[in-house]
Amino acid sequence: MQEVPHAHGLTTGNPEPQYASNGVNTGVPARHYAAAPPTYRLDDLSSEGKKSDPELMMPVDKTATVQEGSEKFHRLGWKQLTVCLIVEAIALGSLSIPSAFATLGMVPGVIMCVGLGLVAIYTSYVVGQVKMRYPHVNHYSDAVEIIWGKFGKELTGVMFALFLILLVGSHALTGTIAFINIIGNYTTCALVWGVVSMIILLVLALPPTFHDFAFLGYIDFISIIAAILLTIIATGIQAHDAPGGLSAVNWSAWPQPGTSFYEAFLATTNIIFAYSFAVCQFSFMSEMHTPKDYVKSIWALGLIEIFIYTMTGALIYAFVGQEVKSPALLSAGNTVSRIAFGIALPVIFISGSINGTVVCRYIMDRIFPTSPIRFVKDVKGWGVWVGLITVVTVIGWIIAEAIPFFNALLGLISSLFISGFTFYWPALFWFQLVKEGKWNANAKNISLSILNSIVFVIGLVVLGAGTYASVEDIITQYNSGAVRSPFTCSAQSYA
């Protein structure tokens, strides 16, 4: 997350405040709202911006510190952006997609993986367009402020922070499950593994810039690819060696008879949430030294995700059938699943820790908008940063342990929040911030207006139906006795 926004090279030639159609003062001339992305340079520190230049409010003697800090937070290239997006997007949840295929059937599963992946690439492209037109936007809430005002900024900020903190807690729980399965010792208190997971997440979240964090991403990517390949190979061999071979596997092209709406949509949300990489895109792009290269990153990430999710879901479902577990590595047999969990440990903790880093960058930017502390360059800055990372990680872990139906709750929160971050807000961004001229001015505008209207409707459907399916899932878990006790010491409850 950038400390000095990219607006520095943008000279408006108009010092008076400018307003969007909704009356929000953005500090950017009205004619730029529908114009081509501005040209700006990192080394040009002249600007007439208001909120986009917080260092202008600083004493002169802090200027050097600010400039040095800004340079530290502008070292991210498009390849590293791709790595950061991969870390945020592709985690152990990708191995839950085969179970989604088991509910939806092979054909709908493939269609959902490819179709939703293409939609996610497009909405991520729109998010990037907004960032290029409004360089002062450092986080998602800054973009929502342009169209919804101060209330929209604060609402989105709470949603953004809460969602990422809950993701940290979710990875702490996943780490607990992984350690229990790897060790195979159910006598050790589960809270011990929970604390170990929390500490690992805390340590890995300490790099303050995404450029520094990116090197962990390569380890993360190798980890998840290795775990997926091991699971695919193991389940394929098991299917081949079973009586009747591959032809005896009970997979289906279409949903099984009796599949309820809530079960089908719950499976669909697993795929939708796997493509929710736009939520942190503003934060990542704020550290890029060449922001226009973001297009390369989202195409690279999107196509990689579509390939991995589709192949993982289809192959493992074809090898295991309706009995496939979630995550799918649990279907690979006791020994292989323990090995796979061991291989997947890096992705569990690295993908979890980057959420802590992002939310703490957001909090630092909000609390210290004009202070060099946010650059984490001295003892005071590091003290604040480490303390903040610690608080966020501990809160995430406590919430995850305290709520017995935490994973189902996370599904509910995801339906409420991801529907906006990935779908209806990008659609609104296009209509209000990106579109040039009237919606029916030309063939391009008409086609994009139709596309974004569809994306907006998808967001509303995910918001409504996803919330309903998640609530039904919570009720079902309680009725089936699948809900564990808060802060339970029983490792068996995680088996």
pLDDT digits (tens, 9 = 90+) for 223-250: 999 999 999 999 999 999 999 999 999 9
In a domain, 221, yes or no: yes
In a domain, 57, yes or no: no
| Tens of pLDDT, residues 473-487 | 989 888 887 788 899
Helix (H), strand (E), coil (C) string for the chain: CCCCCHHHHCCCCCCCCCECCCCCECCCCHHHHCCCCCCCCCCCCCCCCCCCCHHHHCCHHHHHHHHHHHHHCCCECHHHHHHHHHHHHCCHHHHHHHHHHHHHCHHHHHHHHHHHHHHHHHHHHHHHHHHHHCCCCCCHHHHHHHHHHHHHHHHHHHHHHHHHHHHHHHHHHHHHHHHHHHHCCCCCCHHHHHHHHHHHHHHHCCCCCHHHHHHHHHHHHHHHHHHHHHHHHHHHHHHHHCCCHHHHCCCCCCCCCCCCHHHHHHHHHHHHHHCCHHHHHHHHHCCECCHHHHHHHHHHHHHHHHHHHHHHHHHHHHHHHHHCCCCHHHHCCHHHHHHHHHHHHHHHHHHHHHHHHHHHHHHHHHHCCCCHHHHCCCHHHHHHHHHHHHHHHHHHHHHHHHCCCHHHHHHHHHHHHHHHHHHHHHHHHHHHHHCCCCCCCCHHHHHHHHHHHHHHHHHHHHHHHHHHHHHHHHHHHHHHCCCCCCCCCCHHHHC
The CATH number assigned to the domain holding 301 equals: 1.10.4160.10
In a domain, 225, yes or no: yes
In a domain, 316, yes or no: yes
- Provide the domain count of the chain: 1
In a domain, 14, yes or no: no
In a domain, 251, yes or no: yes
In a domain, 304, yes or no: yes
**So what's the pLDDT on residue 137?**
95
pTM of the model: 0.83
Range(s) of the domain holding residue 342: 73-494
Per residue of the chain (495 residues), give pLDDT as tens: 434 344 433 434 444 444 444 444 444 444 444 444 444 444 444 333 344 444 445 554 454 455 555 667 777 899 999 999 999 888 888 889 999 999 999 999 999 999 999 999 999 999 999 999 999 999 999 999 999 999 999 999 999 999 999 999 999 999 999 999 898 878 889 999 999 999 999 999 999 999 888 889 999 999 999 999 999 999 999 999 999 999 999 999 999 999 999 999 999 999 999 998 899 999 999 999 999 999 999 999 999 999 999 999 999 999 999 999 988 988 998 899 999 999 999 999 999 999 999 999 999 999 998 888 988 989 999 999 999 999 999 999 999 999 888 878 888 888 999 999 999 999 999 999 999 999 988 999 999 999 999 999 999 999 999 999 999 998 988 888 778 889 989 888 886
In a domain, 461, yes or no: yes
